[in-house]
Amino acid sequence: MTTDVSYERTQRELETSLGVLRYHETGEGPPLLLLHGSGPGVTGWRNYRGVLADLAAHFRCLVLEFPGFGVSDPAEGHPMVMAQSAVGHFLDGLGLGAVDMIGNSMGGIVATKVAIDEPERVGKLVTIGGMGKSIFSSGPSEGIKLLMEFTDDPTRERLIRWLLSMVHDQALVTPELIEERWALATEPTTLEIARRMYSSKAFAASMAAAAASDVPPYWARLGKITAPTLLTWGRDDRVSPVDMAVLPMRDIPNAELHVFPKCGHWTMIEAREAWLCAVLAFLTRTDRTQR
């Protein structure tokens, strides 16, 4: 079994009508698609490199890099829309049917939308914060406000403030992490695409469009998800407060919720061992009561 998770050995490319989609592949077994979040300097590799070897011991792991985040080719349109489209192009390009999916933050929303719109593509679903709707907390959250401030006017200080909002343990925001994120976040094309979603102007326009639309938001259609679902959340998440989990936990027919204490938005990083234990137990379980 191959579980070499070095960056160079695992990187692959797939030609699609969206352009070249880049991804990382390692491990053998049932396919497991990992979808990354958004925010300055994010990539799929950076989200999942710390847990990839553990997951690859059980699955053929496929870490997709969404268009517009500096690794796969850039694409026109809203990053969220392009991300959902990329999932279908990617799975079809590899000749894959239903796969289990793990989605972090925005990636969790993307995976959730796929589970609603194309249920035949999703086996089991794991989300890491992000999806749902705030019930008790006001919006936008502290972390989203800091993200918009950085996107409007990127400075190192604003990047650091945003990074600190992502974690409970502030020591995780190291100088190396800051430099790594800064370099990609300020790359001109990547920054321009980020502004389509997270500039204050784009965010306000998106909220106005959603309010005027006759199409129900995805969180109002969670009851359509047939996939067994595990919601994982940091109790101290300042980007997507934990009360966002209540609606999907209640509305998704086969949903379970695991909340990790002393943990922020990056559950798979900050609560690594506990998160892996919960996720692997869920994904490898074969009991029929989930469906």
Domain assignment present for 250:
yes
Residues 231-288 pLDDT 10s: 999 999 999 999 999 999 999 999 999 999 999 999 999 999 999 999 999 999 986 5
Domain assignment present for 108:
yes
Q: How confident is the model at residue 2 (pLDDT cuts 50, 70, 90)?
A: very low
Q: How confident is the model at residue 36 (pLDDT cuts 50, 70, 90)?
A: very high
- Residue among 36, 168, 258, 265 flagged as catalytic: 265
Domain assignment present for 272:
yes
Domain assignment present for 73:
yes
Amino acid 211: pLDDT: 87
Q: Using the predicted structure, report yes or no on whether residue 114 has a pLDDT greater than 60.
A: yes
Report the candidate in 139, 94, 91, 134 with the shortest Cα–Cα distance to residue 115. 91
Amino acid 1: pLDDT: 39
DSSP secondary structure string for all residues of 173-233: S-HHHHHHHHHHHTSHHHHHHHHHHHSHHHHHHHHHHHHH-SSPPGGGGGGG--S-EEEEE
Print the domain residue range for 60: 7-137+215-290
Domain assignment present for 51:
yes
Kindly state the percentage of the chain with pLDDT values over 90. 92
Count CA within 13 A, CB hemisphere, residue 52: 29
The answer to whether the CB of 40 falls within 8 A of the CB of 194 is yes
Task: Determine how many CB atoms are found less than 10 A away from the CB of residue 189.
Answer: 10
Domain assignment present for 97:
yes
Domain assignment present for 286:
yes
Q: What mean pLDDT do residues 114-138 have?
A: 96
Q: List residues bridging with 19 in a β-sheet.
A: 16
Verify whether residue 89 is a known catalytic residue. Answer: no
Q: How many domains does the chain have?
A: 1
Domain assignment present for 164:
no
Looking up residue 16, the CATH number of its domain turns out to be 3.40.50.1820
Residues 185-235 pLDDT 10s: 999 999 999 999 999 999 999 889 988 999 999 999 999 999 999 999 999
Amino acid 139: pLDDT: 86
